[in-house]
Chains A and B, each alone.
Chain A
Amino acid sequence: TQLLEQSPQFLSIQEGENLTVYCNSSSVFSSLQWYRQEPGEGPVLLVTVVTGGEVKKLKRLTFQFGDARKDSSLHITAAQPGDTGLYLCAGAGNTPLVFGKGTRLSVIA
C-alpha cells in the first residue's frame, strides 16, 4: 500500500510569514499533485509535478518534487488569510490517486 505522510498536521501562522509543508513517502510516484480544500467544498487541484527535481511556482506558492520522486514540498511566501485551508498531496502510480491526510493551515490577519 502506498502511503503519503504530510507534516505538519496543523499550522497556525501570522499574515506575512513564510511556511513550508512536506509530503513524504517510501514509494515512488509517477507524479504528485497538490490540492487545496476549503470548508464545505471538495479539494481543488493547485499543481501537478511530474519530473524528479521539478520546481513549479504559482504566484506565492512554490512546489518541489524530490529527485527520487518520493517526496514533495509546498512553500508559501508571505502567507495571507486567503491561504487558509487544508492542503493535500496526492501521489499517482498504478492505482488511483493516494492522498495524504493533509496539513491544515490557518493564517491569522
Chain B
Amino acid sequence: DSGVTQTPKHLITATGQRVTLRCSPRSGDLSVYWYQQSLDQGLQFLIQYYNGEERAKGNILERFSAQQFPDLHSELNLSSLELGDSALYFCASSVGGTSGTGELFFGEGSRLTVL
C-alpha cells in the first residue's frame, strides 16, 4: 500500500461527458502529480501541484484541468471526453516540490473507458 488513494478505480462513460478523478496523497506529501498511461504512449506526465499551486505542466489537453485543495487532495477534471481519452490515470505524490532523486508514490490508478 503506497498510501496514495485514488477514486474511482473504474469509470465508464460516453463521449462528450465530463468526469472527475480524485486523489489523496500520502500523509505529509505536498506534491501531487497526474500521469496518463496508455498502451501506445506509456506513462505521460500531465500536471504537478505543490502545496496548492501548479508547479509544472506536461502534455495536458485544454479539455483537462486539475487543482489541489487546502487539505492537499487533488482532482483531475476531464471534459468533452473522446474515445482516445480512454486510459489509466495515475496520481502520485512526493514530499518535495521537485521529483529529482525523490521517490514518487503512485496510487492504484483510475481506469477510464469512454464509449
Q: Which residues of A contact B (CB under 8 A)?
A: 30-31, 33, 40-45, 48, 50, 88, 90, 92, 95-102
Contact = CB atoms under 8 A, between A and B. Distances in A.
B42 A102 contact: yes
Where chain B touches its partner, the secondary structure class is loop
A45 B103 contact: yes
Given A42-B2, A95-B56, 8 more contacts: A42-B107, A43-B90, A48-B103, A96-B45, A96-B58, A99-B42, A99-B45, A101-B41
A48 B33 contact: no
A101 B43 CA distance: 7
A96 B56 CA distance: 7
Interface residues of B, number: 24
A95 B101 CA distance: 12
Contact of B43 (A40, A48, A92, A99): A99
Nearest to B45: A96
